[in-house]
Chains A and B, each alone.
Chain A
Amino acid sequence: MLAARPASIVRQKDMSAAWRHVDFVMVAVVAMTSMFGVAMVYSATRTGTDPWAFAEKHIVFAVIGSVAAAAAGVIDYSKYAQWSRLLYLGGILGLIGVAIPGIGALHNGIRAWYEVGPIQIQPAEMAKLTVTVAVASYLGNQTEGVGLRHTLTVLAMFALPIGLIMLQPDLGTALVFVVMCAAMLLVSGVPVRYLLVLGLLGVGAVTTILTSDTLDEYQKARLTTFVNPDDKSDAALKASYNTRQAQAAISLGGLTGKGYLKGEFTSGGSVPEQQTDFIFTVPGEELGFAGSALLLTLLGAIVWRAWRAAVLARDEVGTLICVGVIAMFMFHVFENAGMALGIMPVTGIPLPLVSYGGSSTLTAFVAIGLVLNVHMRRFT
């Protein structure tokens, strides 16, 4: 009885009723996934001169991300929806700015980063969230149903950032936007016939892009190698080298893995870009099927909780925000794990919460924050 009193006092104060509906399952799963990620990043990078260099930074990103996620949950997402034009504009300006040589930093032929001292910021990551909120706000507020005009507007809202990202060029991130666009249009209630037309147009566009000079040779090679694994030409072998190494590493893990920090490929640096694009090979080799399946289950649980939030959301805007996040999250997971497993072309996008990288980690946490935001305000 005594113990119940303070609780009732809190309830009476009702400072933040929403916080009592926080999805603790989601919080717990995200925390576990993030810690899992730190362990994987450490394993992949510990053979460097400073074994903790990457892992330490990754922990810092995760901590900042957690704070950012909490911050994203503080203000009711309807406020974000009100600011959606500003947010969208900010995201686009960020992408425009980074395209300007001298402002945007060039790495490996891709101009996608702002460099502020030692910190690199990837505006495309932030744009995923601002575009999601903007589109959710636009579609969610169409009380008369979604027609052709709205569909075209949404397409335009996505086309702008996609175009800017292709300028960098970053095919993988551009594809994330495409998937997000498709998912949000689908759930918003766009008539099926529009979706079919869009699907056909999409197939046509992909064919055109692959046969034209829009993509660089290396990008094409990555895609065609995936489709045609028996191609033994030099360029094809070179392109498929990473994915062959990754699959080999995963296969070596077997059912139970080589043991944490005991992977030959992982400790030997035999898989390129292992802390980011091919992070999935670390659990694959060292923890085996057991560990990899656990990681996929954790990521699946996040998607499940986000989907649940979309279902439970108090309004269309909330649902669409969650759908945007689900699409983004799902695509990242499937593409990242899929390319390590050899069933997706190599496009170089990170595994959310697990891969090393400040912008992507921060984005993932803020996205989770938005989902939590929608979930905990389902009754208000």
Chain B
Amino acid sequence: MTDAQVARSRLTIVGIVCMSLFATLFARLWYLQAIRTDEVVKSTRALHIRTLHSEGPRGRILDRNGKVIVDNEIVRVIGIDKQQARKRGLGDGDPRTPDTDEEVATRNAEFKELAGVLTEFGFPTKFTTIEDLFNDVRYGPNDFVAVIGRGVPEDLEIYLGERRDEYPGVEVRVRTVRTYPYGELAAHILGYVGRITDTELKAKVEEQGEPGAPRSAAAKPYGIEDEIGKSGIERSFEEYLRAVPGDERIQVNAKGQKIATLRRAELQPGDDVWLTIDLDLQRFAEQQLANWVRSRRGAIKGCDPRPCDAQEGSVVVIDPRNGDVLAMASYPTFDPSLLVNGISTDLWNQMTTGLKPMLNRATSEAYAPGSTFKLVTSLAALKTGFITPQTTIQDNGTYRIENCRDMRCTRSNAGKAKYGTVDLQKALTVSSDVFYYRIGDQLWVNNGTFGPSPIQDMANEFGFGQQSGIELPTESPGLIGTPKFLAAAYDKNPKAWDHREWTTGDNLNVSIGQGLVAVTPLQLSNAYATFANGGTRYVPNIATRVTRRIDLLNPSDGPENTQVVKTFLPKVAAKVDLSNLEHYLTMFRGLLGVTQRGNGTAEEAFNASPTEWPMAGKTGTAEVTKKSPATGTFEKVADTSIFVGWGPAELGTPATYAVSAIIPQAGFGADAAAPLAFSILRPASKGTLPPVGKPTVVLADAAAAPGEELDGTVAEPGQATTTLPDPNAPLDGTVGAPEGVTGPTGPPAPVNATGPTGGDQAVLPPQTSKVRR
């Protein structure tokens, strides 16, 4: 082979090599552009599209007259701006663009120092906490990561502000938090807000979409640090109160810098919710309730034979004309401002166990109604035709069950009182149990004629045994036990019940509001409001309207500056047939007599604190047993004191207030609940309610310990030990509340199947119930 030939052949090799190299490039090009395109389109979208999420301020909550009960306040928080951090050599903790060892080392050193400074200024912080927050993959690489999410003091702000170069990326920013100008007032109604949990966030993403990618035009997507209503109005009106977040969908380049805005949603503050609550009345009701609960302790009048030990109670005032809830008090109460920035586990446990200060007893707890249930029994008996207004009995203090071979065949009036000849009107006025025992006995014995549950059916008509539909979360349906219910409950858990078949004793108990009957204070007042207005049962209304300020800079909430987003009109739940005038008038007179006649059970109490107009109503004294912590057995405790009524109770004048008051372990209805109710409505009826006064200025972090007067003093931030309201009320350690255990404590509660009510009371064998007036 000559040199030329060699060169030729080797040039051919060069040509072949070149061709193969080009072929390789073409093949790879085809692979990337024809085969892998779809996959890459998907994955790069996530990499280069980011969302800047900013949660706006929540709407305010106002009372019916425009007093702002929940407001917002701007506080300063400390955190790390990831974008700045990256620029200043700290990296950004984004796993997609790993930080160098040097960046990690630099920021670790800085975070250690920062943790030290924060701890020194009273915010105990671990270095690892900051690092973990910084590396939390749920934050975007341009996000602000709040390290101290509550208001920081000015000196710390200044300290960091003067050392911006020493702490690159660390920033003090403003954030709005909830403030409560009236402190604990209406806390149970308002509820509280807190940082959204992972579970809540998941559900909300499902429902609303993600920041920058809302599911619908009206959606308000949540970010991981956002606040969400956890209870009360804050929770049930979340959709209105929450602001439309100012989400900006941006495109970023390889360095994480914004290069284009793809979509932008204008931030719009949350809408304001106007409650039906009259804050003056609410404040007064809460005060009076607290006073009465605290005063009903020990062996005092009405607490015999067992001494009283009142620890809790509730009051509900409704406008019978439209179902507006004017006041709703629950005791003990809590300070929502303690929950603004999260809460320690200890404090949380204190608030949710024992007396459960956070429980809204007016809606979420059910009690035996006692004699106040006779409204239902009377109307049921009239409806069946078993009695007429003219039916009389001889009440010599005791009632013997017909055809009874049991040991407990005899039931007595409270205090074995003898009322002589008793008709319906008198039975209501004096609270003759014997009159109702007979009804309970005969209606059951003759259930072939009257049906299996005429009393319970009437109770359902008045809204008992079902949620009222008020726009508040965790409402209890209460319990109206029927033969069918008992059999089903027994079959489900035979150990919890001592019998399966409904007995005459069960029916006797129901007829006087004991045994398998539990009602919420809200249901009770709403039932009497229904009677008072002639039979229209409204869905209790808690909010009148939702509004939006037209000019945000104008502080006025007047109609000229507000746009109504939604109005909540009275909603009729059902109509109760009260068209038989004779029946109605007999009932009316009987209930009016309770306060107006010499033999009325609450006459004395009414005269001690008379309202401007006459009131009608009914006292109740429910007998309760409670598990003794010492012996583990059920023991009788002091009676639950109940009153429910309305005013003005004048024919031809529409009633404007229906009130219910319940204080467990406070003795006779006439001795605690009735005077409490009158004391609240007395100034209301005269228009002399003390105004709630100027709001107390309370810093979000500096709320006074509950139980003390809110005087605006600044408490130590981060204070761990906060005493609960009413320090002289020891947690008695009883397992489960006397009526209606709602929590996980207590023995197996057989009625749990029907909802959160029930509990010990319902487990009791009917025989243990005794009767009071």
Give chain A's interface residue range (CB within 8 Å of chain B).
35 or more
Chain A residues within 8 Å of B43, by CB: 248
Instruction: Give Cα distance in the complex from A284 to B17, angstroms.
Output: 24
Chain A residues within 8 Å of B40, by CB: 247-248, 251-252
**B299 contacts A by Cβ under 8 Å:** no
**A234 contacts B by Cβ under 8 Å:** yes
Instruction: Give Cα distance in the complex from A189 to B4, angstroms.
Output: 9
User: Beta-carbon contacts of A339-374 to B below 8 Å, as 1s and 0s?
Assistant: 001110000000000000000000000000000000
The one of A187, A237, A264, A268 in contact with B7, judged by C-beta atoms closer than 8 angstroms, is A187
Minimum Cβ distance to chain A for residue B40 (Å): 4
Chain A, range 277-314, C-beta contacts under 8 Å to B: 284, 288-289, 292-293, 296, 300, 303, 307, 310-311
Q: Which 3 A-B pairs have the closest CB atoms?
A: A251-B40, A234-B98, A289-B33
**Which of A118-126, A154-162, A165-173, A330-338 contacts the other chain?**
A330-338
Instruction: Give Cα distance in the complex from A175 to B32, angstroms.
Output: 26
Tell whether A186 pairs with B254 under 8 Å between CB atoms, given A248-B40, A250-B29, A292-B29: no
Instruction: Give Cα distance in the complex from A269 to B75, angstroms.
Output: 38
Chain A residues within 8 Å of B254, by CB: 241, 245, 268-272
Chain A, range 247-283, C-beta contacts under 8 Å to B: 247-248, 250-255, 264-265, 267-272
Chain B, range 3-34, C-beta contacts under 8 Å to A: 3, 6-8, 10-11, 13-15, 17-18, 21-22, 24-26, 28-30, 32-34
Chain B residues within 8 Å of A296, by CB: 22, 25-26, 29
Nearest-CB residue, chain A, relative to B252 = A268
Minimum Cβ distance to chain A for residue B404 (Å): 82
- The reply to whether A186 and B25 contact each other, CB–CB distance below 8 Å, is no
**Can you add 5 more A-B contacts, CB < 8 Å, to A187-B10, A268-B260?**
A238-B98, A255-B34, A255-B37, A268-B253, A341-B25
**A319 contacts B by Cβ under 8 Å:** yes
- The reply to whether B37 and A234 contact each other, CB–CB distance below 8 Å, is no
**A183 contacts B by Cβ under 8 Å:** yes
Nearest-CB residue, chain A, relative to B24 = A343
**B696 contacts A by Cβ under 8 Å:** no
**A326 contacts B by Cβ under 8 Å:** yes
| Chain A residues engaging chain B, CB cutoff 8 angstroms | 47, 145, 183, 186-189, 234, 237-238, 241, 245, 247-248, 250-255, 264-265, 267-272, 284, 288-289, 292-293, 296, 300, 303, 307, 310-311, 316, 319, 323, 326-327, 330, 333-334, 337-338, 341-343
Tell whether A343 pairs with B28 under 8 Å between CB atoms, given A264-B48, A296-B22, A316-B3: yes
- The reply to whether B33 and A250 contact each other, CB–CB distance below 8 Å, is yes
Instruction: Give Cα distance in the complex from A326 to B3, angstroms.
Output: 20
Chain A residues within 8 Å of B226, by CB: none
**B97 contacts A by Cβ under 8 Å:** yes
Chain A residues within 8 Å of B260, by CB: 268
Chain B residues within 8 Å of A341, by CB: 25, 28-29, 32
Instruction: Give Cα distance in the complex from A29 to B25, angstroms.
Output: 19
Nearest-CB residue, chain B, relative to A283 = B29
Chain B residues within 8 Å of A268, by CB: 48, 251-254, 259-260
**B99 contacts A by Cβ under 8 Å:** yes
- The reply to whether B32 and A250 contact each other, CB–CB distance below 8 Å, is yes
Chain B residues within 8 Å of A303, by CB: 18, 22
Chain B residues within 8 Å of A288, by CB: 33
Minimum Cβ distance to chain A for residue B24 (Å): 7
**B384 contacts A by Cβ under 8 Å:** no
The one of A183, A272, A284, A333 in contact with B33, judged by C-beta atoms closer than 8 angstroms, is A284
- The reply to whether B44 and A248 contact each other, CB–CB distance below 8 Å, is yes
- The reply to whether A189 and B32 contact each other, CB–CB distance below 8 Å, is no
User: Beta-carbon contacts of B32-49 to A below 8 Å, as 1s and 0s?
Assistant: 111011011101100110
Instruction: Give Cα distance in the complex from A254 to B33, angstroms.
Output: 4
Instruction: Give Cα distance in the complex from A337 to B252, angstroms.
Output: 25
Minimum Cβ distance to chain B for residue A161 (Å): 22
Chain A residues within 8 Å of B29, by CB: 250, 284, 289, 292-293, 296, 341
Tell whether A186 pairs with B14 under 8 Å between CB atoms, given A248-B44, A253-B33, A296-B26: yes
Minimum Cβ distance to chain A for residue B137 (Å): 15
Chain A residues within 8 Å of B97, by CB: 237-238, 241
- The reply to whether B3 and A187 contact each other, CB–CB distance below 8 Å, is no
**B100 contacts A by Cβ under 8 Å:** yes
Minimum Cβ distance to chain A for residue B675 (Å): 74
- The reply to whether B98 and A237 contact each other, CB–CB distance below 8 Å, is yes
**B155 contacts A by Cβ under 8 Å:** no
Nearest-CB residue, chain A, relative to B258 = A268
- The reply to whether B100 and A330 contact each other, CB–CB distance below 8 Å, is no
- The reply to whether B26 and A293 contact each other, CB–CB distance below 8 Å, is yes
**B101 contacts A by Cβ under 8 Å:** yes
- The reply to whether A316 and B98 contact each other, CB–CB distance below 8 Å, is no
Tell whether A234 pairs with B24 under 8 Å between CB atoms, given A189-B10, A341-B29: no
Minimum Cβ distance to chain A for residue B633 (Å): 64
Instruction: Give Cα distance in the complex from A343 to B30, angstroms.
Output: 13
Chain B, range 165-217, C-beta contacts under 8 Å to A: none
Nearest-CB residue, chain B, relative to A242 = B254
- The reply to whether A238 and B100 contact each other, CB–CB distance below 8 Å, is yes
Nearest-CB residue, chain B, relative to A290 = B33
- The reply to whether A269 and B44 contact each other, CB–CB distance below 8 Å, is no
Tell whether A264 pairs with B251 under 8 Å between CB atoms, given A254-B33, A269-B259, A316-B7: yes
- The reply to whether B21 and A330 contact each other, CB–CB distance below 8 Å, is yes
Chain B residues within 8 Å of A241, by CB: 97, 254
The one of B34, B39, B101 in contact with A234, judged by C-beta atoms closer than 8 angstroms, is B101
Nearest-CB residue, chain B, relative to A251 = B40
- The reply to whether B36 and A251 contact each other, CB–CB distance below 8 Å, is yes
Instruction: Give Cα distance in the complex from A245 to B43, angstroms.
Output: 11
- The reply to whether B14 and A323 contact each other, CB–CB distance below 8 Å, is yes
A-B contact pairs, 26 of them (CB 8 A): A186-B13, A186-B14, A187-B14, A238-B98, A238-B100, A245-B254, A248-B43, A248-B44, A248-B47, A250-B29, A254-B34, A255-B34, A265-B44, A268-B260, A269-B254, A284-B29, A288-B33, A289-B34, A303-B18, A307-B18, A316-B3, A319-B7, A327-B14, A330-B17, A330-B18, A337-B25
Nearest-CB residue, chain B, relative to A144 = B3
Chain A residues within 8 Å of B44, by CB: 248, 252, 265
Minimum Cβ distance to chain B for residue A349 (Å): 15
Instruction: Give Cα distance in the complex from A303 to B6, angstroms.
Output: 21
Instruction: Give Cα distance in the complex from A183 to B260, angstroms.
Output: 48
Instruction: Give Cα distance in the complex from A293 to B32, angstroms.
Output: 12
Chain A residues within 8 Å of B259, by CB: 47, 267-269
- The reply to whether B3 and A145 contact each other, CB–CB distance below 8 Å, is yes
- The reply to whether B32 and A251 contact each other, CB–CB distance below 8 Å, is yes
Minimum Cβ distance to chain B for residue A150 (Å): 13
Instruction: Give Cα distance in the complex from A341 to B18, angstroms.
Output: 17
Tell whether A270 pairs with B253 under 8 Å between CB atoms, given A234-B100, A251-B40, A323-B11: yes
Chain B residues within 8 Å of A245, by CB: 254
Chain A residues within 8 Å of B252, by CB: 268
The residue in A245, A268, A300, A310 that gathers the most chain B C-beta atoms within 10 A of its C-beta is: A268
Chain B, range 580-616, C-beta contacts under 8 Å to A: none
Minimum Cβ distance to chain A for residue B161 (Å): 33
Chain B residues within 8 Å of A234, by CB: 98-101
- The reply to whether B14 and A338 contact each other, CB–CB distance below 8 Å, is no
Instruction: Give Cα distance in the complex from A188 to B3, angstroms.
Output: 8
- The reply to whether A251 and B33 contact each other, CB–CB distance below 8 Å, is yes
Chain B residues within 8 Å of A292, by CB: 29, 33
Chain A residues within 8 Å of B18, by CB: 300, 303, 307, 326, 330
Instruction: Give Cα distance in the complex from A265 to B47, angstroms.
Output: 11
Nearest-CB residue, chain B, relative to A308 = B15
User: Beta-carbon contacts of B506-538 to A below 8 Å, as 1s and 0s?
Assistant: 000000000000000000000000000000000
The one of B11, B37, B98 in contact with A251, judged by C-beta atoms closer than 8 angstroms, is B37
Chain B residues within 8 Å of A311, by CB: 8, 11
Chain B residues within 8 Å of A250, by CB: 29, 32-33
Instruction: Give Cα distance in the complex from A208 to B289, angstroms.
Output: 89
- The reply to whether A307 and B101 contact each other, CB–CB distance below 8 Å, is no
Chain B residues within 8 Å of A188, by CB: 7
Instruction: Give Cα distance in the complex from A245 to B6, angstroms.
Output: 45
